[in-house]
Structure 1
Amino acid sequence: MDTTATGPVATEMLKRLDSALSPSRIALTDDSEKHRGHGGYNPAGESHFSLEIESELFTGKSRVERQRLVYRALGELMHERVHALQIRARAPGEE
């Protein structure tokens, strides 16, 4: 499991994703500094993320269905703390 982002928000995100989706691979990157001066930027960081996640639960699901599963797992974090999340969700064996 590759977990690049390690602040409190990222830690909570990873915990929720692990619990809800049992990923075989997950990589979460805090991209907040790349968005300094843009909408939603938080000087405390942890406002913009990139997520790569692989889970059996994504098998047979569309891209939109996969994103909904991720958003559901993250819950209120997506409304209260995270401004943007770029998601690459795939099932095992997919490129």
Structure 2
Amino acid sequence: MGQVQDRITETLTERFAPSHLEVIDESALHAGHMGARPEGETHFRIRITAEAFRDKSRLQRHRMVNEAVAAELAGPVHALAISADVPA
């Protein structure tokens, strides 16, 4: 894992105590696209399951994740794909 991926993982773990978390660097799939950098860590897919999302709409869940990683979005991260669910 890279430094940005580590920070995102750490931040989401601390904020939401997820029962499941995947932070996938998909930067290689976007090479040459807007926002891509040669060193990568610009495009991520987040799959997170946490009790904190219960009774929240899909939009609210996405906003919660975006707010948690706002520092990365303001800097090195160009794009996030988010799947935020509640435990079954």
Common topology (TM > 0.5): yes
Shift of 1:75: 2.2
* Aligned mates of 1:30, 1:75 — CA distance in 2: 17
Match of 1:17 in 2: 12
Query: Normalization by structure 1: what TM-score?
Result: 0.90
Residue 78 (structure 1) shift? 0.7
Consecutive unaligned residues in structure 1, runs of 5 or more:
1-5
The reply on whether 1:90 has 2:85 as its aligned counterpart is yes
Paired position in structure 2 for 1:41: 36
Once the two structures are TM-superposed, the CA of residue 70 in structure 1 deviates from its matched residue by 0.5
- The yes-or-no answer on 1:72 pairing with 2:67 is yes
Q: How many equivalent residue pairs?
A: 88
Question: Which stretches in structure 2 are left out of the alignment for 5+ residues?
Answer: none
Aligned alpha-carbon RMSD (Å): 0.7
Instruction: Give the % identical residues.
Output: 38
TM-score by length of 2: 0.97
Provide runs of 4+ in structure 1 moved above 6 Å.
none
Matched, 1:81 2:76: yes
